[in-house]
Amino acid sequence: MEFLRPRTWNEAVAVKAAHPEALALAGGTDVMVELNFDRTRPASLLDLTGVDDLAHWALDGDVLRLGAGVTYSRVVDELGFALPGLATASRTVGSPQIRNRGTIAGNLGSASPAGDAHPALLAAGAEVEVESVRGVRHVPVAEFFAGPKRHVLEPDELIKAILVRPASGPQEFAKIGTRNAMVIAVCSFGLALHPHARRVGTGIGSAAATPRRALDAERFVSEELDWQGRGPLPDGVARRFGELVAHAAEPIDDGRGTARYRVHALAVMARRTLGWAWAAYRKG
Amino acid sequence: MPAPSTSPAPPAAGTSTRVTGGVGESARRPDGALKVTGEFAYSSDLWADDMLWGATLRSPHPHARLTGLDIGPAVAMPGVYAVLTHDDVPGRTVYGLERADQPVLCDGIARYHGEPVAIVAADHPETARRAASRIVAEYDVLEPLTDPRRAIDPASAPRVHPTGNVVRHLAVRKGDFETGLDVAAEVTVTGEYEVGMQDQAFLGPESGLAVPAEDGGVDLFVATQWLHVDRDQVAACLGMPPERVRLTLGGVGGAFGAREDLSMQIHACMLALHTGRPVKMVYSREESFFGHVHRHPAVLRYEHGASRDGLLRYVKAEIVLDGGAYMSSTPAVVANAATLGVGPYDVPHVSVDCWGVYTNNPPCGAMRGFGAVQAAFGYESQMDRMAAELGLDPVEFRIRNAMSEGSTMPTGQAVDSPAPVAELLKRVSSVPLPPRERGDDGYDLRELPGGVSNTTHGEGVVRGVGYGVGIKNVCFSEGFDDYSTARVRLETVDGRPVASVHTAAAEVGQGLVTLLVQIARTELGIDEVTILPADTEVGSAGSTSASRQSYVTGGAVRAACEAIRERVPDPASLPDGEVVEETVEWRHRPTSPLNEHGQGNAHVQYAFAAHRAVVDVDTELGLVKVVELATAQDVGKAMNPDAVVGQINGGSAQGLGLALMEEVQVSGGRIGNPSFTDYLIPTILDMPPTRVDILELADPEAPYGLRGVGEPPAISSTPAIVAAVRAATGAALTRIPIRPEHILDLSGVSEGERT
Ligand SMILES: Cc1cc2nc3c(=O)[nH]c(=O)nc-3n(C[C@H](O)[C@H](O)[C@H](O)COP(=O)(O)OP(=O)(O)OC[C@H]3O[C@@H](n4cnc5c(N)ncnc54)[C@H](O)[C@@H]3O)c2cc1C
């Protein structure tokens, strides 16, 4: 197996063009598991951890650029204010060791329906900045997933950054697991209030072939909420929102939970997270 | 801290010399610092410079006829030194703890998913694994027998073994049931319960190193629970006299019963003898789930009858234990579930039938609690239901029926040492309840169901409290010749008396090596005591199981020290250069087999623990946070108080796992979750603070009055937690582990059809 270790981003993109079969390696918390189990045997590994500046984040105009090397721990420690939904999601990932190594970009690269970053990124309306020698393109996270563990990257493309606006309103993330830490999501839900746009963003995890938004629920609740007057959240609205989120899911029965439970739990999480976010919004 | 003794333990016989780190003190473990700093050498760290690596090919089918096996492609790989199959087994082709029914390598029929079919030795572990996967095994897939309830029918098909599918049926009849009468009661409750398949989940997977010896024999370094029983089985299958197979204990990373049966022992020895090179085998975590026995899943049907004033009149029970494809220790597990099947209660009339059966599910055998765990979930669930039926407090109802010293077991055996069941219950129920700390906004996610996953800020959370009490036999039962051997050597070096203790007892993490030092110090009155590595150069110590090593090997070491003191009354004054050595084989009092009514003095000693569980349940999401576990346990004598507390906390955690999350998911005979990704064990966020209350009521029969400690806490924590979840939710919860779906009523929820 060849081990490719570029030093600069341009070099990385060039190497990927020359070796489209090379498997990108960030924190390795998914890749090394796959290799150890002999589930994948790539001809070469493209280690991105030596690339300068990839592990940085910065505000670029009104958008935050999260370099592909930014780990969960960094998000928890440094971006709790700017990206509260993603930070809450990051806190639920694995153990401290995994959070220190694992990256948000790696979560996207694996494209697991259960990836914890995805619902938060969906709700926040993030985009993935993708680059190859052919150029740069921006893929909304909602269009990034192509199926279970599949995404829309071309073989010569790499994720360079994740672009997301800092939160303009409260954000929440909730995840069901059958133990209280270190658990793969049975299902999960991300929610973001975008008060300027008077819009609510959502993301559903682990309850369909890919992470997805609950569009009907977003439309419904965005219209029902009293953005101007910051009035209380009618119980019926919260409930209906929960139902619509549940409707958007297409879960299966598996060893981690039943479809029925996932549908039910999504409705509860959606209702609760909306309540928390709205209460925070009302407080200003 | 442990509570003071309620009655004094008998003073240790011995010298009056004061030593530090003797019996009753919390002496430090010799392996503690090494383990927490990662320096401890486990059996997976064993190394020989010229060693080869072994790998195993396993059956992908739970039941299949092996129709073809082509090892050619594996043999042809560079770096491969040996590929062996059933035909290469040099001696007896089967092994087993109670009956040799398990093929060393598949004998033509694969009876469970994961059965070893062929083994490979190569110069690199990856080469060995790849070579194993190149072996072409062809199968005719057969219908598996997977429902243990079907297997209790002697005529059930398919027959997993020619002897039929019932491994053991034990009937216990007491009172009117023994004389064939039927018994009625004013109030009856019936219930059916199910226990899923729990795994021991030790952290150090199966591993060892076999080294061919010049005399044609083999030296095997391995993590196990009983060196001599391993040796005898390995020698028989290698076709060698036992003395040519020498075992030394490797560093053991936990056991909990899973190392009672052989795993890689014979395979590594076969490969080493075939190649003339040392061979190391280490299972991966995934392979480990296929490489050892699990806790028997159980289906339990109970009927309890009581008088209106709250006295138990009778218990009828039918318990089916799924032993999987091979016998392992199923007969002994059946004995425990049956004889302990009504729990620590006085019941005048008892009828228990327990079956252990063969199926094509993964083989099941020993795990901490050994049959008593499954029964306790059944009888404690029933005790709560009966209490509710009678309008009695569950603790009060238990206390009214609690057995005590002098009680008669369902087997007719009189309980002739303290059995403070009522006292244990009173103690756990009088511990002040933990406060509910939460104000309106002042929640800490880590204290809530769901933890940092942020599923509730207090919404839907209901607190529940539940109780459980359990009984366990200590030591081997039913007439088994259960002994241990200790060799103690005393000498004086440079004017300092030094003792060394040699036994074959397996230290599996429980702290026996610490305890044996404490005993030798106390008995010989000297400070410097060394424990020699456990190996087969000394006689058998018996198994590190059944909570028995402190009792039996502890007893043997004490007896050997006493023998030395008879020769040298003051060991501290032995002249320089002189050596005194004594080897003692020590036995506890004999037990007897059970007759056709399950009657007999089958057990050596009984041990008891009670738990109170406090839980918070998110009643809308079905998620549970255990808030606190309070335990009271009678240990006879706290030989090492810190170690006792450690055992109680560890056992409680394992019981918590069974209540809430731990299950090997088997469907159609296949294991669906062979990894720690989906076989969940409690994390530090799942394990609550504990309150441990230790009683020391001496058993006059036992060394120092001690009572086996390891298993009881793993028995009662499970029903206590389930009872607490029931109290919070009103859900019936007849199956463990509890899943969120069991707590909620989801009958009205559609399965996610889209609009
Ligand atoms: C013990 C354990 C617990 C875990 N718990 C969780 C959990 O709770 N929640 C969760 O969501 N996940 C969990 N994971 C999975 C994993 O940690 C995450 O998916 C993580 O985000 C992967 O990031 P990484 O940097 O380690 O990626 P890697 O393993 O390095 O890569 C993952 C994938 O992304 C690709 N990739 C990486 N970087 C790029 C790039 N710049 N461009 C294109 N492709 C790229 C790789 O080729 C690979 O396909 C756990 C894993 C382990 C081992």
Contact criterion met (CB < 8 Å) for B621 and A216: no
pLDDT for res B8: 37
pLDDT for res B442: 72
Q: CB-based burial of residue B179 (10 Å sphere; 0-12 exposed, 13-18 middle, 19+ buried)?
A: exposed
- Chain B interface, mutation test: which of A180, A220, A271, A273, most B Cβ atoms within 10 Å? A180
Q: Within this chain, do residues A13 and A147 fall inside the same structural domain, yes or no?
A: yes
Q: Within this chain, do residues A158 and A184 fall inside the same structural domain, yes or no?
A: no
User: Which of ligand 1's atoms lies nearest the C-alpha of A110?
Assistant: 33
Task: Determine contact: B672 vs chain A, CB below 8 A.
Answer: yes
Chain A nearest C-alpha distance from B656 (Å): 11
Helix (H, G, I), strand (E, B) or coil at B149: helix
Task: Determine contact: B675 vs chain A, CB below 8 A.
Answer: no
DSSP A202-236: EEEESSSSS-B--HHHHHHHHHHS-TTTT----HH
Q: Does the pLDDT value for residue B753 go beyond 50?
A: no
Query: What residues contact B583, with CB distance under 8 A and at least 6 apart?
Result: B485, B486, B487, B488, B538, B539, B560
Task: Catalogue all structural domains in chain B, each as residue range(s) with its CATH number.
Answer: 12-40+483-587 (3.30.365.10), 44-143+205-252+259-291 (3.90.1170.50), 417-476+597-754 (3.30.365.10)
Q: Within this chain, do residues A206 and A110 fall inside the same structural domain, yes or no?
A: no
Query: What residues contact B37, with CB distance under 8 A and at least 6 apart?
Result: none
pLDDT for res B751: 64
Cite the beta strand spans of B202-330 per DSSP E. Answer: 207-212, 218-222, 245-249, 279-282, 294-295, 298-306, 312-322
Cβ of A116 closer than 6 Å to ligand 1, yes or no, is: yes
Confidence category of residue B748, pLDDT binned at 50, 70, 90: confident
Beta carbons of B476 and B546 less than 8 angstroms apart: yes
Contact criterion met (CB < 8 Å) for B660 and A178: yes
A117-152: b (≥16 Cβ within 10 Å) or e: bbbbbbbbbbbbbbbbeeeeeebebbebbeeebebe
Q: Kindly indicate whether the ipTM for this predicted assembly is greater than 0.90, answering yes or no.
A: yes
Q: Within this chain, do residues A68 and A99 fall inside the same structural domain, yes or no?
A: yes
Nearest of B573, B570, B527 to residue B18 by alpha carbon = B527
Q: How many helices (H) and strands (E) does chain A have?
A: 10, 13
Query: What residues contact B128, with CB distance under 8 A and at least 6 apart?
Result: B52, B53, B54, B55, B80, B120, B121, B122
Edge-first strand listing for the sheet containing B136-141: B109-110, B64-70, B136-141
Query: Which residues of chain A carry a pLDDT beneath 50?
Result: none
- The domain tally of chain A equals 2
Cβ of A51 closer than 6 Å to ligand 1, yes or no, is: no
Cβ of A195 closer than 6 Å to ligand 1, yes or no, is: no
- Residues spanned by the domain of A277: 171-282
Q: What are phi and psi of B354, to 5 degrees?
A: -130, 130
pLDDT for res B230: 98
pLDDT for res B157: 86
Dihedral of the alpha carbons of A274, A276, A278, A283, in degrees to the nearest 10: 180
**Cα(B528)–Cα(B496) distance, integer angstroms:** 8
Compute the Cα dihedral for A76, A81, A87, A91 and give only its sign.
Answer: positive
Confidence category of residue B440, pLDDT binned at 50, 70, 90: low
User: Which residue among B460, B623, B749 places its CB closest to the CB of A264?
Assistant: B749
Please write the tens of the pLDDT for every residue from B710-723. 999 999 999 999 99
Beta carbons of B267 and B82 less than 8 angstroms apart: no
- Chain B interface, mutation test: which of A37, A179, A187, A263, most B Cβ atoms within 10 Å? A179
Average pLDDT, stretch B408-433? 98
Give the amino acid at B182. Answer: D
Q: Within this chain, do residues A107 and A138 fall inside the same structural domain, yes or no?
A: yes
Task: Determine contact: B440 vs chain A, CB below 8 A.
Answer: no
Contact criterion met (CB < 8 Å) for B685 and A181: yes
Beta carbons of B345 and B378 less than 8 angstroms apart: no
Q: Within this chain, do residues A78 and A213 fall inside the same structural domain, yes or no?
A: no
**Cα(B238)–Cα(A270) distance, integer angstroms:** 63
Q: What is the percentage of chain B residues whose pLDDT exceeds 90?
A: 94
Q: Within this chain, do residues A12 and A94 fall inside the same structural domain, yes or no?
A: yes
Domain boundary among A107, A140, A164: A164
Average pLDDT, stretch B375-382? 98
Query: What residues contact A237, with CB distance under 8 A and at least 6 apart?
Result: A221, A224, A225
Confidence category of residue B438, pLDDT binned at 50, 70, 90: low
Q: Does the pLDDT value for residue B1 go beyond 50?
A: no
Structure tokens at B516: 């044996």
Q: Does the pLDDT value for residue B439 go beyond 90?
A: no
Confidence category of residue B517, pLDDT binned at 50, 70, 90: very high
Nearest of B249, B244, B260, B221 to residue B97 by alpha carbon = B260
Strands B349-357 and B312-322, by their bridges, are parallel
- The neighbouring-strand residues paired with B180 are none
Cβ of A124 closer than 6 Å to ligand 1, yes or no, is: no
pLDDT for res B17: 56
Please write the tens of the pLDDT for every residue from B640-672. 999 999 999 999 999 999 999 999 999 999 999
Chain B nearest C-alpha distance from A130 (Å): 30
Cβ of A33 closer than 6 Å to ligand 1, yes or no, is: yes
Q: Does the pLDDT value for residue B441 go beyond 80?
A: no
Higher pLDDT, B577 or A71: A71
Please write the tens of the pLDDT for every residue from B39-91. 999 999 999 999 999 999 999 999 999 999 999 999 999 999 999 999 999 99
pLDDT for res B436: 82
Contacts of A263 in chain B (CB under 8 A): 749-752
> Which CATH number does the domain housing residue A245 bear?
3.30.390.50
The H-assigned helical ranges of B525-620 are: 549-567
Average pLDDT, stretch B374-400? 98
Q: Which of A163-167, B122-126, B432-436 has the weakest average pLDDT?
A: B432-436
Q: Within this chain, do residues A124 and A246 fall inside the same structural domain, yes or no?
A: no
**Cα(B661)–Cα(B464) distance, integer angstroms:** 18
Give the amino acid at A1. Answer: M
Name the residue with the closest Cα to ligand 1, atom 50: A94
Q: Within this chain, do residues A274 and A149 fall inside the same structural domain, yes or no?
A: no
Domain boundary among A139, A164, A189: A164
Cβ of A186 closer than 6 Å to ligand 1, yes or no, is: no
Domain boundary among A164, A184, A203: A164
Quote the Cα angle for B328-B331-B334, to 5°. Answer: 120
> Which CATH number does the domain housing residue A154 bear?
3.30.465.10
Query: What residues contact B26, with CB distance under 8 A and at least 6 apart?
Result: B640, B641, B642, B643
* Mean pLDDT, chain B, whole residue set: 95
Q: Within this chain, do residues A24 and A130 fall inside the same structural domain, yes or no?
A: yes
The owner of tokens 């900045």 is A129
**Cα(B56)–Cα(B121) distance, integer angstroms:** 9
Please write the tens of the pLDDT for every residue from A59-111. 999 999 999 999 999 999 999 999 999 999 999 999 999 999 999 999 999 99
Q: Within this chain, do residues A113 and A178 fall inside the same structural domain, yes or no?
A: no
**Cα(B97)–Cα(B95) distance, integer angstroms:** 7
Please write the tens of the pLDDT for every residue from B480-510. 999 999 999 999 999 999 999 999 999 999 9
Structure tokens at B356: 């252990």
Contact criterion met (CB < 8 Å) for A178 and B620: no
Per DSSP, B395 falls in state: H
Distances (CA, A) of A191 to A33, A115, A255, B506: 30, 15, 26, 54
pLDDT for res B632: 98
Q: What are phi and psi of A243, to 5 degrees?
A: -65, -40
Q: Within this chain, do residues A66 and A143 fall inside the same structural domain, yes or no?
A: yes
Beta carbons of B448 and B456 less than 8 angstroms apart: yes
Q: What is the 3-state secondary structure (H, E, C) of B171-189?
A: EEEEHHHCCCCCCCCCEEE
